[in-house]
Amino acid sequence: MSAGDFFFPRLTTLTLDELPELRSFYKNSHTPTWPHLKELLVRHCGKMRSFSFASEIQSCQGSATHENQPALSLEKVFPHLKRLTLAREDVALMQHDIFGDLRELTLAYYHEENVNFPSNFFLQRFPNLEYLTIEHSSFEEIFSEDVFAHEGVTPCGGLIEREKHLKAFGNLKRLWLNNLWNLRHVWKDGSLMAEILKQIEDLWIWQCPSLSIIFPSLTSFQSLTYLQVQNCTGLVHIGTCSA
């Protein structure tokens, strides 16, 4: 085992915050691993594209020597990661990684107006995700995709598409929405969000001033055990239903 194989063998928490010039964690040919790291926060490190300087150089050069080498897998770097926090510009670090052990994810700082919620970022990446926090962003809708949109296009095509989306969030139990100043809908009939909310046990909504109604349809939330709504100054109704 080389010295670079386990850079900080006992590290359990790593925070990289407001480091706009940071390009990599480790300037060496080795790719460090942290076998005990459980929590990773990366925020506003816009120039960082890998945790290995050598991997970044290979990616930028795109040379034939390295083009057949496998991409750096963050799941191998952090094999037991449980909690991950990312800002928008740092999502590129994830590439195509799948985090089978990750239980808690926070996604934040999508400030641009009319920005779309990145639903596809979640598909097949976090199969055991239990806790999701979305905060400090300008999304108008969350998981607004129509899960029934492709039904009838091919025999069973719609069912396959719907099951693919729902399976990605099959273990999700807690959803926290915080400081989403343009959020106008939490629930929309037929949307992926509507299906997700049916299994949520813990729902917190804070500081979403554009919300006027949370649940616009008559729905049974058989799994919900805790609901907190706070500082949503435009809220008129928690729920309503059509006659």
Band (62; pLDDT cuts 50, 70, 90): very low
In this structure, how many other beta carbons lie within 10 angstroms of the beta carbon of residue 118? 12
What is the structure's pLDDT at 66? 40
What is the structure's pLDDT at 206? 96
Question: 133-177: per-residue pLDDT in tens?
Answer: 999 999 999 988 775 554 444 444 455 556 666 677 889 999 999
Cβ atoms of residues 210 and 182 within 8 Å: yes
- Cα(32)–Cα(73) distance, integer angstroms: 11
Question: 111-124: per-residue pLDDT in tens?
Answer: 988 888 888 888 77
Share of the chain above pLDDT 70, in %: 70
24-48: b (≥16 Cβ within 10 Å) or e: bbbeeeebbbbeebbbbbbbbbeeb
User: For residue 115, what is the DSSP state?
Assistant: P
| All structural domains of the chain with their residue ranges | 1-85, 103-243
Share of the chain above pLDDT 90, in %: 28
- Spell out the SS3 assignment of the chain: CCCCCECCCCCCEEEEECCCCCCCCECCCCCCECCCCCEEEEECCCCCCCCEHHHHHHHHHCCCCCCCCCCCCHHHHCCCCCEEEEEHHHHHHHCCCCCCCCCEEEEECCCCCCCCCCHHHCCCCCCCCCEEEEEEECCCCCCCCECCCCECCECCHHHHHHHHHHHHCCCCCEEEEEEECCCCCCCCCCEHHHHHHCCCCEEEEECCCCCCEEECCCCCCCCCCEEEEECCCCCCEEECCCC
- Cα(219)–Cα(103) distance, integer angstroms: 27
- Checking if the pLDDT of 73 tops 80, the result is no
Cβ atoms of residues 220 and 205 within 8 Å: no
What is the structure's pLDDT at 64? 38
